[in-house]
Amino acid sequence: MTRRRFLGQLAAVGGGLALAACGASPRAQSTAAPAASGSTAPVASGSTAPAASGAVATSAGARATATSAGSGPVATSAGARATATSAGAAVTPGTGQARQVGITSFMNWDDIKGTPIEEVLQAYEKQTGNKFENVPNPGSGTEYETKVRTMLAGGTAPDIMRVNDDYVRYYSIKDQVRDLTPYLKRDNIKPEDYYAPIYDFAKQPDGKYGAWSIGNQPRAIYYNVNLFKAAGVPLPPKDWTKQGWTWNDFLETAKKLTKGDQQYGALVYDDTGSEQTWAVNNGVADGIFAKDGKKFTLADPKGAEAIQWLADLSCKHKVQPERGLVEQGTTPNLGNNLFVAGKVAMIFRTQGTINYFRRNIPKVGDPGSFEWDVAPVPGNVDQKSEGSLICFAITKPAKNPDGAWELLKFMGGPEGSKIFAERGAWITAHKASNDFLKPGKEPPASYPANLALFAKATEFGTVVNFTENTENARNVYRPEFAKIWNCQETAQVVLDRVRRDVEEALSGKF
Amino acid sequence: MAVRAKAFARPATRPRLSRRRLQQNLEGWLFILPVMIGVVAFYVVPLIVSFYTSFTDADGLTEAEWVGGFNYQRLFTRDQFFRRSVVNTLLYVGGHIPLTIGLALILALLCNRKVRGVTWFRTAFFIPVVTNVVAVSLVWNFFFSPRGGVVNWFLSLVGIAGPSWLTDSRWAMPAVIIVSVWFGVGFPMIILLAGLQGIPEMYYEAAKIDGASALGRFRYVTLPLLTPALFFLSITQFISSFQVFGIIYVLTNGGPARATSVYIYYLYQNAFQNSRLGYASAMAWLLFAVIALITLVQWRLQKRWVIYD
C-alpha cells in the first residue's frame, strides 16, 4: 500500500519534471510568446489605419448576411472591393471576385498563431468565404524539410507549403510543385505591380514559376541604442552607406561596447545569412556557390578570409559571445535572447526577427527596457545583405490546387501584402503595399524608427546561387564550421577539407 | 497441448497427414495469420525493398535507377563522413558498454542487500528507463549548459572550469555517453539483480566455510554464476548501442563538427535530409551484416566464458 503510494508520488514527480523540461525549453517559450502577442498586434493596426480595419469588418459583416440571403457573388465582390480601396491599393482586375473554392490546407514551418500570416489567413476567410486548414509543424529548419520530403513522397503534402527559398529550384526540378504560370496568366497578375527581383525569384530557367515569392526579408544590424549611449559611442549610420561603417569601424564599435563576458559588442556569426553576406562583401562576387552552381566559391581565399573575420570576432577580439552561448546543443537562436536581455549591443538578423524583438524586448517603462533600431550591415569591398525570400508553393499532391491559388493570390496580392507590410513581416513583392515606408512617413508605433532601411536593404540584396543540390552541399560543409566557430581550426583548413565533397554534392553525381 | 503431444507421438509412417492433423494445422496457421501478415507486410517486404533500394539511386521523389554496387563502393572508398561516423560509433560503443554494464553491476550488488529502503533505490535507478528519451535529453541539455548548467556548477565547486559540453567537439561525445549511461543503466541493473537473486545462498555459505573473503566470493561465486546474464546483456547492449539515435538527435544533432554523428544518425541524414534512400539502405545493410557477424562471434565465444549452472 505504502509502496504503491510511493510509486504514485514518484510518477507524479517524474511527470512534473518532464513538464518542467518542456516548459523551460526556449522553443516552447517562443511558441508560447506569439499567443500573447495577439493582444499587441491589434494596437499597431489600430494606430496605422483604424478606418481601414473598420471598413474590412463592415464589409465582411455585410457579406455574411448577404450570403445567407442567397446573393453571394455580388456581395462578395462588393465587399472585396471595399477592402481593396480602403487598403489604398489599386484595384487589380481578377482580385475583385472571390471564387468559392472550399477548404485549402496550408503549412508553414513555424507556428502561425499570433503572426501576420494567421492574420492574413483569417482575413482571407472573412473576405472570400473560403476556408483554410492549418497543418501544424512542430519544428523548423531541417526538421521541416524532412517532413516536407516525407509528405511529398507519400502524397500527403498539403495544398500550399512554405518553401525555403534555397529549395525552390530543387522541388521544381523534382517536379514536386505546380507551375503557377497558368494561374498568373488567367488572373491577369501584372508583373509591373511587383518588385521584379522578388517576383521573379521563383521563376525557373524554363520559365515556370515553381512558387510564389511574395516578400523579402533582408538582413540588417539591430542595435541597442541605450548601450551605445551608455558607452558614448556614436550611433551607426541610418542610410545604407559604408561611410563610417566599414568592417573596421564595426569592429572598433563592437570593442567599445564589450564588457568582458557580461556584455558583447556584436553577434553576427550565428545567422544563416552571414556566410553569403560577408563573403560577398569581401569580394567573392558569386557568394557561397558559383553562378553555374558547380563551384564552392566560399572556399576561395577571399571567402575563407570573410569566414575567419566572423570567427575572429569571438576567437581573437572577444567582442562576440562564444558559440556555446548562442547555440546550445540543438536549441537554436539563443542569440536573440541575449539581445533582448541587453547583453549584446548589435546583432545581425533578418527583418523577420522584428516581431520577436517587439514582443520580447520590455516595453518602455518596464524594467530592462531599451530603445532599439536597425542599421545597415558594415561594408568592405561591397555592402550587400542576403535577403530571405518568402516563398509558398502549390504542391504536386495538392487536392485543392484551385483553392491553393486563391489563397496564394490573396497572400501575395494587395489584400494580404498590405497586412504583411504594415506588420513589418517583410518587404512585400507588391510594390504599393510598401508605400508607408516612403521617406517622411513615420513607421507604426513600437517598430524601429528606421524601418524604411529594410526597403533600402532590398535594393542591396544578394541571394545565394541556388541549384537543385544546394541542400546536400550545405549539409556537407555547415556542420564542419563548428570547428571554426569554436576556434579549433582556421576557416581555410576546414574549407579546403570539405571542398571536394561539397562540389561533388553540387554536381548532383552523388 | 495434450492433443498435440499425442499427434506427435504417433509413428510417422504415413506419408500423408490425416484430416485431423490438417485441420489442426490450418487452425494453427489461422491463429498466427494476423501476426504473419504483419511480419510479412511490415518486415519482410520492406527488407526486400530496402535491399533492392541499396543498389539504386532512389530519392523517394523521382524514378530510381539501378546503380549496381556504387553505393557500397562509395561508402568504402570516398566518404570521409561515413568513416567518421564509424569511428564515432566505436567510440560510443567503447564508452557506453563497459560503463553501463560496470555501473549496472555495482548498482545491482548494492541493491541486492537487505537494507531498509532498498526498493526505493531500485525504483530510482530504473526510472530513467521508463522516461521519454526526448524529455531526458532536453533536461540534460540544460544540465550541460556551459554557464548556469548543473554539471559545470558541480565542477566549479571542486575548482574545475567545466567545458561547454555540447558545443565543444572534444566534449560532446563524453557528454552523450554520460547521458546514455544514466539513461540506460536501469535495465541491465534489473537483469543483473535478477541474476544475483537466482544464485543459491548455499554456494556463499560453502565458500564462507571454506574461508573465502568477500572479494573471493564475488570473484569465484557471484561472477561465474552471473555470466549468463552478462552474456545476454553484452549482446543486447551491443546491438542497441550500435543503433543509438534518439539521444543524439535531441542532444547534439550529430554535432558539433560531426563529433557525435554516429552510424544511425548519418544514415538518417542521408535518407531523410539528403534524400539518398539508396545510399542509406546500403548503410543499413552494411550495419546489419556487421552486427550479425559480431553477434555470431559473441555466440561462439560464449563457450569460453559463460557458465550455465
Q: Where are the domains of chain B?
A: 72-305
For residue B16, what pLDDT is reported?
A: 66
What residue ranges of chain B have pLDDT lower than 70? 1-17, 309
CB of A296 closer than 8 Å to CB of A502: yes
Determine which of A4, A143, A149 to mutate to test the interface with B (most B C-beta atoms within 10 Å): A149
For residue A47, what pLDDT is reported?
A: 34
Determine which of B166, B266, B274 to mutate to test the interface with A (most A C-beta atoms within 10 Å): B274
Please tell me whether the interface predicted TM-score (ipTM) of this complex is above 0.95: no
For chain A, the residues whose C-beta falls within 8 A of a C-beta of chain B are: 3, 6-7, 10, 14, 17-18, 21-22, 24-25, 142, 145-146, 149-150, 152-153, 174-176, 322-325, 327-331, 471-472, 475-476, 479-483, 486, 488, 501, 510
Alpha carbons within 13 angstroms on the beta-carbon side of residue B231 total: 19
Pairwise CA distance, residues A98 & A488, whole Å: 59
For residue B1, what pLDDT is reported?
A: 42
Residue A279 to chain B, least CA–CA distance (Å) = 21
DSSP labels, A366-411: STT---EEEEPPPBSS---EE-EEEEEEEBTT-S-HHHHHHHHHHH
3-state helix, strand, coil split of chain B in percent (to 5) is: 75, 0, 25
Pairwise CA distance, residues A307 & A490, whole Å: 9
C-alpha cell at B188: 541491465
Pairwise CA distance, residues A198 & B292, whole Å: 54
Over the stretch A270-311, which tens digit does the pLDDT of each residue have?
A: 888 999 999 999 999 899 999 888 899 999 999 999 999 999
C-alpha cell at A116: 501576420
For residue B159, what pLDDT is reported?
A: 87
Q: How many CB atoms lie within 10 A of CB A234?
A: 11
Residue A510 to chain B, least CA–CA distance (Å) = 9
CB of B144 closer than 8 Å to CB of B167: no
Q: How many CB atoms lie within 10 A of CB B176?
A: 28
Closest in B141, B273, B279 to A142, CB measured = B273
Alpha helices by DSSP H, A258-413: 274-281, 301-315, 323-326, 334-340, 354-360, 401-412
CB of B289 closer than 8 Å to CB of B72: no
Over the stretch A121-138, which tens digit does the pLDDT of each residue have?
A: 999 999 999 999 999 877
CB-CB neighbors (< 8 A) of B67 in chain A: none
For residue A69, what pLDDT is reported?
A: 36
Positive or negative: CA dihedral A409, A410, A411, A416 = positive
Of the candidates A237, A286, A267, B22, which has an alpha carbon nearest to the alpha carbon of residue B7?
B22
What's domain B72-305's superfamily in CATH?
MetI-like (1.10.3720.10)
Q: What is the full per-residue pLDDT of chain A (510 aa) written as tens digits?
A: 455 555 455 455 444 444 444 434 333 333 333 333 333 333 333 333 333 333 333 333 333 333 333 333 333 333 333 333 333 333 344 445 667 888 999 999 888 888 899 999 999 999 999 999 999 877 655 678 888 888 998 889 999 999 988 889 889 988 999 999 999 999 999 999 998 888 888 888 888 999 999 999 999 999 999 999 999 999 999 999 999 999 999 999 999 999 998 999 999 998 889 999 999 999 998 999 998 888 999 999 999 999 999 999 999 999 999 887 887 655 657 889 999 999 999 999 999 888 889 888 988 788 889 999 999 999 999 999 999 899 999 999 999 999 999 999 999 999 999 999 888 889 999 989 988 777 666 777 778 888 889 888 888 888 888 888 888 898 899 999 989 998 999 999 999 999 999 999 998 877
Residue B217 to chain A, least CA–CA distance (Å) = 33
C-alpha cell at A450: 528606421
For residue A356, what pLDDT is reported?
A: 86
Is the CB of A479 less than 8 angstroms away from the CB of B257?
yes
Sequence-distant contacts of A23-26: CB under 8 A, at least 24 apart: A24/B142, A25/A331, A25/B138, A25/B141, A26/A331, A26/A333, A26/A334, A26/A337
Q: Which residues contact B149 (CB under 8 A, 6 or more apart)?
A: B142, B143, B162, B165
Over the stretch B157-170, which tens digit does the pLDDT of each residue have?
A: 998 888 888 888 88
Is the CB of B146 less than 8 angstroms away from the CB of A324?
yes
Is the CB of A142 less than 8 angstroms away from the CB of B146?
no
Measured between CA atoms, the residue of chain B closest to residue A479 is: B257
Is the CB of A176 less than 8 angstroms away from the CB of B164?
no
User: CA A456, A462, A467 angle in degrees (round to 5)?
Assistant: 150
Phi, psi of B128 (to 5 degrees): -55, -35
Q: How many CB atoms lie within 10 A of CB B281?
A: 23
Pairwise CA distance, residues B221 & B298, whole Å: 23
